[in-house]
Each structure stands twice: as structure tokens, then as C-alpha cells.
């Protein structure tokens, strides 16, 4: 088949159009449509930034390095999506909830799906290093009814700001991770240690690039949660320490006012410990949607 006349005239102004002409665009096929949009924006970037061939080779080398930096402990592509604000934007678009429901935020690269199931009241601090923090709360629906048996998964950084999968030689496996099941009243409680804020990893290609560009790479102190119950939208979120001075400059746009809490100083077992209380409010899953 010989190319049509337009295909022979590929140039700076018609490049996206010519690309799109080769696709079988139709309403019932999303992939060609997605490709046409992605490529049109990519061509727009090239027209605006006008990279040299050497610049473009560097960009491809960067993307190659991002791929090579990924393994079963590290997800550099997730980090790139998070730091570019893309993950937060996707969450914003997809999880618009009633105002009273707990909002979603970014899941982040340190999540592990295989955290151990623990009984209520257990500690997730396997090395006991840090200031004790007692976490308790409820899981409820929008009418205030408890959601018995809801699953609460949590993961967090330690008192120095590192996750166990960042320090496999220094922290016990599954340190500061656990999965709990709410009781018949929708209540849960467990023990941990107060997490520190941290700098997002800058030893890989994504962190290096952003540091070079002068982008702030801090995350304020937080705990991560994923809360699940049949028939409800899964909540993937954080709770933030209200005393952290960096709440306003989170590198991944994950801080929302509803998720900031002041940790309280209380006495327990004859000692002064930190306490955090929170009620997760779940919205019903939309008909036909995955929970």
C-alpha cells in the first residue's frame, strides 16, 4: 500500500494530525483515542521546548534509568507520577466524595500488599524504637453507622523517617505495617511509634532530576491507611501530624485539611504517650464500580 499524500508531508505543524490519521478512531475503541491525545500533547511539548537530538537522547536515557531503578522493593515510576502531581490529580478526578466522607490521597511507592494481619491492640513497631503512639478510631458510613469487620491496613515510616522496605538491613521485615479488623462497633486500635517526616528518596533518577530543578522534596510526618469494606469505596489515605512545620509544602500534594490531626499527649500504663483518634467515613461504592 502506498502512503497517502499527507503522510509524505510530515512536518512541524501537521505531525499530530498525520499520526492520528493512521489510527482507527471510533467512539467504541478507547485505545486509539488515548494514543492520539497522548501523542498530540507530546508533539506539543517538542514544538514548545524544541530539544536538540542530544537533549532528546538524554530524556530517553532518563526514562531508561527510571525503568532500571524499579525492582520488587522500589517503584521509581510511581515516584515520578507522585512527584509530578499526576497521582494526586488522578485521585482528585476519580474519588470525588461527599464532603463528610474521608478523602483519598496518593498511595505512594512504599505500600506492600502483604502486610501481616494482627489482632486489635497489637503493636506494629517490631523494633520498639521511637516514641509510643496509640492509634484508635472507628470506621463508619455516611449516616454514622459503624461498619463492623472493616479492614484497616496501615503502613508508616519510623522515627527517623524511613520505611522498612527502604532499610531491609536495618529494620525488621514488616516493621510498622499491619492489617486490623474493626470489631462489631466498627472500632479499632493498635500501637505504633510516632513517625517522622522525611525527604522523598533522591538517590534515584527522579529525585536527582527534581533536586537539580530546585523542587522541594519533603513529606510531612504521616501514617498511611487503606480501609476496605464490602459495598464501600476503598479509602486510601494519610493522617498527618498537625505539628509538622512542612504541612504546606508536601512534595506529592497529599495533605488535605480533613486529614490533619493534633496528636495528644496522654498517660497510659504509667507513662506519657502520644495518642491519635480518627473516624474513617466510608462512602457506598457506586453501582457496578469496583470497591
Name the site residues for ligand BEZ (rule: CB under 6 A): 79, 82, 106, 108-110, 200, 219, 252
At closest approach, how far in Å is the CB of 287 from ligand BEZ?
A: 31
Buried b vs exposed e over 28-67: b needs ≥16 C-beta within 10 Å?
A: eeeeeeeebeeeeeebeeeeeeeeeeeeeeeeeeeeeebe
Q: Report the residue number, 132 or 222, with the smaller CB distance to ligand BEZ.
A: 222
DSSP at 126:
S
At closest approach, how far in Å is the CB of 207 from ligand BEZ?
A: 9
At closest approach, how far in Å is the CB of 109 from ligand BEZ?
A: 6
Burial grade of 213 (CB within 10 A; 0-12, 13-18, 19 or more):
exposed
At closest approach, how far in Å is the CB of 195 from ligand BEZ?
A: 10
Q: Report the residue number, 69 or 200, with the smaller CB distance to ligand BEZ.
A: 200
Q: Report the residue number, 125 or 236, with the smaller CB distance to ligand BEZ.
A: 236
Which residue's Cβ lies closest to ligand BEZ? 108
At closest approach, how far in Å is the CB of 222 from ligand BEZ?
A: 6
Q: Report the residue number, 17 or 173, with the smaller CB distance to ligand BEZ.
A: 173
Q: Report the residue number, 79 or 235, with the smaller CB distance to ligand BEZ.
A: 79
Evaluate whether 261 touches 194 at the Cβ level (below 8 Å). Answer: no
| CA atoms within 13 A of residue 134's CA, in its CB half-sphere | 15
At closest approach, how far in Å is the CB of 177 from ligand BEZ?
A: 12
CA angle at 223 for the pair 218 and 226, rounded to the nearest 5°: 120
Which has the closest alpha carbon to 10: 50, 33, 43, 37? Answer: 43
Residue 265, H or E segment: strand 264-268
Q: Report the residue number, 125 or 156, with the smaller CB distance to ligand BEZ.
A: 156
Question: Which stretches of the chain are DSSP H helices?
Answer: 15-21, 30-49, 53-68, 76-83, 86-94, 205-212
Amino acid at each position: 500500500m502506498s502512503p497517502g499524500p499527507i503522510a509524505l508531508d510530515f512536518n512541524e505543524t501537521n505531525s499530530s494530525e498525520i499520526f492520528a490519521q493512521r489510527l482507527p478512531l471510533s467512539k467504541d475503541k478507547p485505545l486509539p483515542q488515548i494514543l492520539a491525545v497522548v501523542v498530540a500533547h507530546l508533539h506539543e511539548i517538542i514544538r514548545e521546548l524544541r530539544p536538540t537530538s542530544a537533549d532528546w537522547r538524554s530524556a530517553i536515557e532518563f526514562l531508561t534509568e527510571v525503568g532500571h531503578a524499579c525492582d520488587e522493593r522500589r517503584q521509581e515510576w510511581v515516584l515520578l507520577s507522585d512527584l509530578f502531581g499526576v497521582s494526586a490529580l488522578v485521585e482528585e478526578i476519580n474519588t470525588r466524595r461527599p464532603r463528610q466522607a474521608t478523602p483519598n490521597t496518593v498511595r505512594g511507592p512504599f505500600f506492600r500488599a502483604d502486610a501481616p494481619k494482627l489482632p486489635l491492640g497489637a503493636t506494629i513497631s517490631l523494633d520498639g524504637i521511637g516514641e509510643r503512639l496509640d492509634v484508635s478510631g472507628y470506621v463508619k458510613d455516611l449516616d454514622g453507622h459503624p461498619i463492623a469487620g472493616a479492614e484497616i491496613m496501615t503502613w508508616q515510616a519510623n522515627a527517623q523517617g524511613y520505611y522498612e522496605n527502604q532499610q531491609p538491613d536495618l529494620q525488621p521485615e514488616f516493621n510498622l505495617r499491619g492489617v486490623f479488623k474493626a470489631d462489631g462497633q466498627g472500632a479499632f486500635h493498635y500501637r505504633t511509634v510516632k513517625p517522622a517526616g522525611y525527604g522523598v528518596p533522591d538517590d534515584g533518577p527522579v529525585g536527582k532530576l527534581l533536586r537539580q530543578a530546585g523542587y522541594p522534596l519533603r513529606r510531612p510526618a504521616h501514617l498511611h491507611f487503606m480501609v476496605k469494606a464490602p459495598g464501600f469505596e476503598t479509602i486510601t489515605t494519610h493522617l498527618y501530624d498537625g505539628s509538622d512545620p512542612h504541612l504546606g509544602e508536601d512534595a506529592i500534594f497529599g495533605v488535605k485539611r480533613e486529614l490533619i490531626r493534633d496528636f495528644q499527649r496522654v498517660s497510659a500504663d504509667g507513662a506519657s504517650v502520644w495518642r491519635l483518634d480518627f473516624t474513617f467515613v466510608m462512602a457506598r461504592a457506586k453501582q457496578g464500580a469496583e470497591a
